[in-house]
């Protein structure tokens, strides 16, 4: 048991997929994992452990935003020995050339969150993906023929953002997309000498205003989970970070 996860010791795999929505955790467990067992329902933040191929994999909902994912990532790393955390989430595209439903691999995260400012004082820390995971996910996307972009994203504390000017400047500096969790995930993984990657699907477009239908979201969500599971299965990720 940890403060927010009611699992027994050993009930959570070393590799954990992290959707924001706990109902997505249930969907992933029921659709993609074999013999999935529910290990947490505290606050309705479902967590399951099952098998994919010969690999034991867990999937844990994180909720939305830096504080919520920080709680779950910290407890997975500190209390349950998780070593590989793969966020599977959605994002808003910030570049014209990116299409709705495309996949984005977050190589690094800019952030407006105050959490890392507090943690690093005067330094601007650059939360960064694990290279082996990033490389594995990119290769899998290419092999499967899925449209994928790799680069810097923005992890924001704000969904309804009034500050259009700072978003424009980030776009001018190549930021691919905005979401609300990955900078915290990468920072905590680094702190615990573990590996992390965020794989995102584009659910809405901040430049064109386009949005996905529920059906499109489901198709691209499944593609993202396939990439995450390919990545989790790749042999090189279970060597020490």
Instruction: Provide the binding-site residues for ligand HPA, judged by CB under 6 A.
Output: 90-92, 156, 159, 178-180, 203-204
- Minimum Å gap between C-beta 24 and ligand HPA is 13
Determine contact, residues 102/148, Cβ cutoff 8 Å: yes
CA 170 – CA 177 distance, rounded (Å): 9
If the CB atoms of residues 96 and 143 are measured against ligand HPA, the closer one turns out to be 96
| Cβ-Cβ contacts under 8 Å for 227 (sequence gap 6 or more) | 103, 137, 140, 141, 144, 146, 199
Radius of gyration of the chain (CA): 17
If the CB atoms of residues 15 and 156 are measured against ligand HPA, the closer one turns out to be 156
Determine contact, residues 20/62, Cβ cutoff 8 Å: yes
If the CB atoms of residues 204 and 216 are measured against ligand HPA, the closer one turns out to be 204
- Catalytic pick among 21, 112, 157, 204: 204
If the CB atoms of residues 91 and 183 are measured against ligand HPA, the closer one turns out to be 91
Q: Is 204 among the catalytic positions?
A: yes
CA 234 – CA 183 distance, rounded (Å): 24
- Minimum Å gap between C-beta 66 and ligand HPA is 12
- Minimum Å gap between C-beta 12 and ligand HPA is 26
| Cβ-Cβ contacts under 8 Å for 205 (sequence gap 6 or more) | 92, 93, 98, 100, 211
- Minimum Å gap between C-beta 206 and ligand HPA is 6
Q: Which residues are catalytic?
A: 204
């Amino acid at each position: 048991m940890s403060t927010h996860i009611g699992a027994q010791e050993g009930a959570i795999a070393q590799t954990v997929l992290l959707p924001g929505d706990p109902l997505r955790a249930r969907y992933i467990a029921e659709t993609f994992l074999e013999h999935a067992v529910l290990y947490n329902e505290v606050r309705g933040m479902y967590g399951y452990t099952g098998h994919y191929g010969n690999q034991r994999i867990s999937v844990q909902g994180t909720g939305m935003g830096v504080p919520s994912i920080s709680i779950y990532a910290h407890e997975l790393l500190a209390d349950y020995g998780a070593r590989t955390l793969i966020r599977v989430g959605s994002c808003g595209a910030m570049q014209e050339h990116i299409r709705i439903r495309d996949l984005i691999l977050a190589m690094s995260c800019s952030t407006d969150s105050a959490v890392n400012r507090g943690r690093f004082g005067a330094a601007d820390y650059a939360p960064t993906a694990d290279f082996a995971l990033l490389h594995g996910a990119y290769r899998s996307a290419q092999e499967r023929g899925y449209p994928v972009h790799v680069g810097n994203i923005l992890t924001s504390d704000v969904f309804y953002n009034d500050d259009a000017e700072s978003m424009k400047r980030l776009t001018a500096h190549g930021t691919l997309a905005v979401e609300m969790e990955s900078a915290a995930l990468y920072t905590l993984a680094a702190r615990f000498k573990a590996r992390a990657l965020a794989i995102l699907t584009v659910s809405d477009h901040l430049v064109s205003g386009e949005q996905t239908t529920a059906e499109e979201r489901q198709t691209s969500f499944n593609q993202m989970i396939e990439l995450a599971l390919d990545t989790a299965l790749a042999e090189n990720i279970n060597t020490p970070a």
